[in-house]
Amino acid sequence: MPIVYKTRTQVVVEEIRARILSGEIKAGEPLRQAALAEQLQVSRIPIREALLQLEAEGLVKFEPHKGATATEISPNLIDELFELRAILESDLLARSIPLLTDDDFVRAEQTLAQLDAALQSPDHAERWPELNTAFHTCLYKADRPQTLEMISNLNKNADRYIRMHLQMVGGIQKASSEHLRLLELCKMRDVPAACAELTAHILHAKAEIKQFLETNRS
């Protein structure tokens, strides 16, 4: 396996992203560059660069006279993110199924096994969204680079909600069976049924997350 070298900014991005997604940094909490630089023992330059990258991912926003803050959890944003995912991913899956090979299915099965193992351990919660996205990506083989890039960005923006669904809304109990059903339909080359399963999988998660937020707000 090749050695992966990370820049200081990449390390800072990953640390701040992990703190936001884990809830250690609360939504709406100011992100003071001086304090973060001291905590992470770096200068303010990689902190500033990291916050700009996280802004592009939708996890941070800059406001006049306030600076950077972790983004608020928004029901409207949940609707937009998950509905766009359903539209784009089901279209990409439909185009991909005829192109999928036995090797692709093996990779999908291996990734699903890794995801299922990680889901059994709260200590591996930081890997859940990554492996969830990796499994779905195994099934997206159509040559649609712009669509893949948009889906990747949507998944980054939805990371905190995916984690919430798996960790707090009971998604762990459903994820394995739904993923297996999707994979089997892809193997059968049943495009309409596979796309319907994927759409339901994404939109059910959206509905459950919103219900969880509404229950805890009331």
Task: Report yes or no on 3 lying in a domain.
Answer: no
Same domain as 198, residue 107: yes
Residue 52 makes CB contacts below 8 A (sequence gap 6+) with: none
Position 3 scores a pLDDT of 46
CA triplet 130, 22, 58: central angle to 5 degrees? 70
Question: Does residue 215 have a pLDDT over 60?
Answer: yes
Separation in Å, CA 216 to CA 22, 74, 78, 170, 212: 18, 14, 16, 15, 6
Task: Report yes or no on 1 lying in a domain.
Answer: no
Same domain as 184, residue 85: yes
Same domain as 167, residue 142: yes
Residue positions counted in the chain? 218
pTM assigned to the model: 0.72
pLDDT digits 0-9 by tens, 13-71:
989 988 887 778 888 899 999 999 999 999 999 999 999 988 877 788 898 878 899 98
Residue 62 makes CB contacts below 8 A (sequence gap 6+) with: 51, 55, 68
Same domain as 92, residue 34: no
> How much is the average pLDDT of 137-144?
96
Task: Report yes or no on 81 lying in a domain.
Answer: yes
Instruction: Grade residue 1 by pLDDT with cuts at 50, 70 and 90.
Output: very low
pLDDT digits 0-9 by tens, 157-195:
888 788 777 766 677 778 889 999 999 999 999 999 999
